Structure 1
Amino acid sequence: MLPAPISAERAYEIGRDTYPRIDLSRDTFIMFAHARAETWKGNPDRAADMFLACACVERIPAAVAEFLAAFGERIPQYLGKLARNADLVAEVRQILVTRCVIGDANKAPALMAYSATGSLEGWLRATAVREALSMHREGDRHASDADAALEAQISWVDHEISLFKQIYREPVSHAFATACAALDAEDRALLRLHYVDGVTTAKLATMFGISRATLIRRLAASRALLVERVKAALKVASGVADQDVDSVLRLVRSQIDLRLSVVLKNVDESAAS
């Protein structure tokens, strides 16, 4: 037996209670809910899911962070045996974030199609499996060895940060520049070789006389240190509100901005001049 239907206004209150850090306009949510009235049918069990989906479509940083925190790490569970392929998992995650949350100039985010008939997680699981099967059929993508798994942890070709940049473009640019300048020469050199000069992890391992797995861990540690520097810069002087810093850092930790290469290059060129 279905629960008694509720109003869009009541659904909004449930959503706010579930996600108190997400500042979503009541009017925006009610329009979103009314557009799905025939499929949602006032089901209170879908209120929080619909609230999160609406807030993600509106590109609210805290909502995107909540979305990633709730579902990002579950993707391997959704994919079952296909999750043994670390590269495939990383690609599916990128596609979900890109297509579900960001969209592009010609296409709205896929979350716009969420009808609230079922759970948001169920909708995401079906999307993840469909994308994974599609990619799996295109060819063999074996990446089960330990090095490949480590490499997947520092994959930086992702669009999560692109969404973040659209919202906090100036504060992030300033924070990255400040953070890169504050790194010591060794950490900055390692990041520059990889991100600016495009030196592969295998070649870097040879250059530094260490194993590739160790090099990957070292590169990941340098990135982690950079993230902490970014956090400090955002808090101190970059204009990001205190309540948004944690949401911001979830995105920064997940992927280093592709623009990092430009920032590192500019920092080193300025130091040399």
Structure 2
Amino acid sequence: MKPFTLVFLQHAKGRGDLPADGEELERLLEQAVGRGRQGRPFGLDDKVFVDYLAQRLPLAKEGVTLAQVFADTHMEDLYLACACVHKVPEAIATLEKHHLSELRTWLKQTNSVVDEVCQSVRIQLLVGLTPAGPRLVTYRGSSSLQHWIHVVASRLLPPGKPPSGNGSPPASLLNALENIPFQGPDSEIELIKRRSMDAFRQALSEALDGLLEDQRRLLRSYYIDHLTTIELGRLIGKDQSTASRKLALARETVYEETKRLLKERLRLASKEFDSFVAAIQSNLDVSLSQFLGERDDEDEK
């Protein structure tokens, strides 16, 4: 069995009408790798990409051949996502230079929280907010990577402020908290939000104070100075992968400590508290960016 075919078939059963001819399948895979590279191999092993591609194919549809599936797949974008997920520095630099810089331009069509949303998207794509890891692993190539990133960003915008609108950015962390989309009866949730704002702000402040100095510096460099994870690695004398892990750990430490302090002080019912905490987690990047910025402003006065 040919090398690409051997790797591909480990995950591709039931995903596309596979050619009966082994030579034809190998040829299709070679073409897919070639389309993905497009002169930018990033040092990624071809078999790694073939394996990645196989795991992200849609389920087979009657009459749809594998060649047709491949033709409809944004192979170059999927290759870039694969390289980023595997922490290839050149690929991450390419994603930030082209796709994330374009995201900033797209977001500037509105007066929304451009910097905060961009930072949040960067973390979701390259680091991840859950144990599942980087959000990029869920990109399957069925649409362009840029469009997919726009969708991710749209879900982080404050309610009622799509990219075509003229909304103004939240003036402070408290305004950002007011925009958190809670689940549940409106009147009940609004009451929880109002009486929880001060507690949230205090808990977040104490969680940040409890960090090690190098963790605070890492968060400030990422959220306020807008350093990439590659640049963070240089700053701390480590590689990009280590910098990403340290950043994720610092962020998770803040989240867990904020959650612990709020649980002690708010005395909400379990269901109410779960809704509140879920909203905090999904908006933590915006909150951290604004809160650290406020601290820097106060320090300069």
Q: TM-score, normalised by structure 1?
A: 0.48
Higher relative contact order (CA 8 A, sep 6+): 1
Larger Rg: 2
The structure where helix makes up a greater share of residues is 1
Q: TM-score, normalised by structure 2?
A: 0.44
